[in-house]
Structure 1
């Protein structure tokens, strides 16, 4: 075994220095700055830079991006699905409100429903109709329905190449080979375009901005004093940038009248609408010719001469007239009344009223169901509601073409009340004698009674209710106007009598003022107006609008 050597300690040659002290030669060197300062020679006096993008940090960022993308995709998908569901529900509701033919393309049907909804804003939603937008919608529909590549397959020209009429344009097509729903929808589109053209008469379109304006706001030589545009509207256009906003109404009315395939009522309604437009434009001669054209259409299939072509009076010995004949003769009488031909209008109204009173009464439907049947009927009603919600609605059947006499139901009785209103108005406005005025007032009272009685009936449909409400409103307005005139005359006469008594000296100062006959009837009219407010929607005791043809 080898012996261990003892350990030897080497003593420190250099003494210990306190910490953080520079060496003597380094201190002297740094103090003199005789050499450049290099980073690797300088003491470490800066903190080390940390590593931010580590492996864990990368993994966390990837997870967050993936989660954000997933949530964004899910939310946008749900939003898109909800939008599609809402759009589908809206289109289903609009289809039930404005049915469209099934054979039209989906885009055409959607545009038809949207355009009809825009036009319906004035009646149902009490808003302002954007007729420029509505008219453009109907114009687009006409182009699609007449395009052989879209929905116009099978349309034929009436003559080779069609007929061009100055100021009107191209005449109608031959649509007799199309189905009845297609023809009915096409007719609604043409009539809608004609209504839009009437409202846009006198409007212009700024070609640069594609915005419609009334003609009286255009800045140009032909309008030296332009009216200011409404607040919030776009600035007024210049005359050199404008063009007519829409075609004239006769373009579409004549398109209907020259189209082969429309039935008698459709062509007659178009002729009457065109004639009313001509009356509005103060061209009575042209309007009279159009009314005669409508009467010729209505009487084309009549076996006998049911209307006197010279006077327009219905022949009592020719049988019961059709609904189209009654409508055409009534419109002709209104035309004569508007143009102050009272002696011509009154016999026509009387003949129409006589013909309407000779109509066959509509059968009365009475409910004879038992309680068990009523329970079954309730279950059947619930089942039909569920089925209607799940199944698409059927296109409604065609309405009456007006070639047969109507039945004397609530709507026809309200039409009779309207004729009575016209007769009373003419008798009162003729002012031949005091008796004539009282006769006119009596006719008006009876018309109001008939209209209010029908409105209070339980079995009255929507169309009949609308007719009765119009008749009641006009009748109450005429009645109030007539009584107010007579009460004023009565008051003036009483004033003259009072002056005469005072001048003769027989007193009169202590006489009690008693309301006269017409002053008392004014109170009756107010009470009837208040009572009718539940049907007309006017405030209690409020005035009823006067939309007569003679009183202004």
Structure 2
């Protein structure tokens, strides 16, 4: 019997597999065997959880951070805008002060209207008069509304007075405070200026946009002009109405309001007269200037009339004229000169110049004798002005002179004298009576230029005086150049005619010799170059306040 061999058991070890690999028993090697999805995990896409607990918490944190940053940024931007608006209003309140008796909204609207009208604050020096006029009209509605800022206004008669073509006359504002009355006057005059610039304009009622009349499309304007590039399309005539009231609506309201000063009424009458001159109605303008003279002489206490209200000539023996009389008489003389009535204009100008030269000199004070360089300047002055501007609110300026007293002969009045001399020189030259008369006109013009330049170079001159002197110097230099150019031309023609005498002998030596008026032309060119620096200087010195930054 053969020996029984021991049986060896061969163990089949499970083969190694990668950690993420499929299980061997799930792989089917037989093609005929059905493939079960649940036995083949490697072939199906695993289910992924996109919104886990960690991701949900991260999204919550990010949304919270974005909300905090958004709120912080918008809050900061809003606060910056509020700060900028406050600084702007503070700066405007110092540049265009308004009465404290008005409400805050009225004061803000008043500052905005004045800023819109100010040429320094506009683009290219152009004023949007439609916007400015609407602002003044809105201010008038607020001031004349008893429920807003018009408490205490009274009609002079029951129900008021209506004038054909003008509307309702002025109120009785004598019970209102002086700052309120002065601000009301400024708004009325501003509305009058806007009405002058909007004369002939129409408003498209469908879009509430103002247009000049020459661009309107309609039967009354068969050849309309094109609108400027970038402007709104031209309106239709059937959709248009007058853009603003006529200027006399506001000037007459000033003249008929009870409570304005004499100077305010005189200035309104002179502004209306200048507008009538512009509209080529000299007869009506003359009546308005005479009305201004009547207003100016109503407060005179002289036993003898200072001015003849018919001719406008001042009587030197009746006493010193007031500022209002000088302004009204000057405007009347300019009216006569503008309408070529030189025989009536020249006596008025001569009497005004005589009266101005007889005015009392401005009293000399210790402050006026101080040298500006000796006063507190530099750091301490800037620091003091900074602290004062930050702590002290701006005050409404005190009331100006009412014009019922004679002015003093200060720097501004000397500039006014130079302006009168410019008018006299122009009238004498334009009369062309004789050669002597024309040379007298040149002499008056030269003296006016000298006086204006001398006063303009004075460091103590104020802003109003500097503005007056600049205008006088510019006009005087222009008149002087025009006069001398005409005289030089006539001189050249006379010399050429003399040089071409009998057979043309003996005149060659005088062709290259400069005459008297040609040499004076060179003098004028030098004077214009010398005056260029003071004419180009700013009228208002820069402010040292922190708001000027």
* Fold in common (TM above 0.5): yes
In 1, the alpha carbon distance for the partners of 2:477 and 2:375 equals 41
Q: Quote the Cα distance in structure 2 between the aligned partners of 1:153 and 1:261.
A: 15
Q: In the alignment, what sits opposite 1:101?
A: 99
- Structure 2 matches for 1:285-296, cutoff 5 A? 285-296=283-294
Write the distance in 2 (CA, Å) between the matches of 1:395 and 1:495. 66
Q: Counterpart in 1 of 2:544? A: none
1:127, distance to aligned residue in structure 2 (A)? 2.0
Question: Is the contact made by 1:122 and 1:128 (CA closer than 8 Å) also made in structure 2?
Answer: no
* Change beyond 3 A, Cα 1:403–1:48: same
**Aligned CA distance change for structure 1 residues 161 and 369 (closer, same or farther; 3 Å):** closer
> In 2 relative to 1, CA 124–427 (structure 1 residues): closer, same or farther, beyond 3 Å?
farther
Contact 1:201/1:246 (<8 A) preserved? yes
> Matches of 2:386 and 2:42 in 1, distance apart?
87
- Report the secondary structure of 2:500's partner residue: helix
- Indicate conservation of the 8 Å contact 1:155/1:175, yes or no: yes
Cα displacement (A) at 1:527? 0.7
**Contact 2:496–2:511, Cα closer than 8 Å, also in 1:** no
> Using the alignment, how far apart are the partners of 2:370 and 2:162 within structure 1?
61
* Separation of aligned partners in 2, 1:45 and 1:299: 114
1:448 shift after superposition = 0.4
Q: Whole-Å Cα distance in 2 between the matches of residues 180 and 337 of structure 1?
A: 37
Give the secondary structure class of the aligned counterpart of 2:125: coil
Which ranges of structure 2 fall in alignment gaps of 5 or more residues? 1-7, 16-22, 538-549
- CA distance, structure 1, for counterparts of residue 251 and residue 161 of structure 2: 15
- Residue of structure 1 in register with 2:340 after alignment: 340
The answer for the alignment partner of 1:320 in structure 2 is 320
Q: 1:34 — aligned with what?
A: none
Which position in structure 1 is the counterpart of 2:5? none
Cα distance, 1:510 vs. partner?
4.9
Give the root-mean-square deviation of aligned CA atoms.
Answer: 2.7
* Counterparts of residues 360-375 of structure 1 (less than 5 Å): 360-366=360-366
Task: Show structure 1 runs of 5+ residues with no match.
Answer: 1-8, 31-36, 539-552
- Deviation string 1:95-131 (CA, Å, 9 cap, x unpaired) is 0000000111111100100110010025887521111
Q: 2:513 matched to which residue of 1?
A: 514
Q: Which residue is equivalent to 1:463?
A: 464
Q: Does 1:133 align with 2:131?
A: yes
Residues 63, 378 of structure 1: alpha-carbon distance in 2 compared, 3 angstrom cutoff: closer
- Is 1:350 aligned with 2:356? no
Structure 2 counterpart of 1:156, from 143, 154, 157: 154
Q: Is the 8 A contact 2:337 2:345 kept in 1?
A: yes
TM-aligned CA distance change 1:165 to 1:511, over 3 Å: closer
Q: What does 1:384-403 align with in structure 2 at a 5 Å threshold?
A: 384-403=385-404
Q: Secondary structure at the match of 1:147?
A: coil
Counterpart secondary structure, 2:359: coil
Aligned length: 519
Provide the C-alpha distance between the structure 2 equivalents of 1:90 and 1:113, rounded to a whole number of angstroms. Answer: 10
Instruction: Sort the Cα spacing of 1:475 and 1:74 in 2 relative to 1 into closer, same or farther, 3 A.
Output: same
Give me the whole-angstrom Cα distance separating, in 2, the residues matched to 1:344 and 1:405.
Answer: 24
Determine the structure 2 residue equivalent to 1:525: 524
Specify which of 180, 183, 186 is matched with residue 181 of structure 2: 183
Tell me the TM-score normalized by structure 2: 0.89
Q: Report SS of the residue matched to 2:241.
A: strand
Whether the aligned pair in 1 keeps the contact of 2:290 and 2:310 (CA below 8 Å) is no
- Is the 1:490–1:518 Cα contact (8 Å) retained in structure 2? yes
TM-score (norm 1): 0.89
Cα shift at 1:229: 0.9
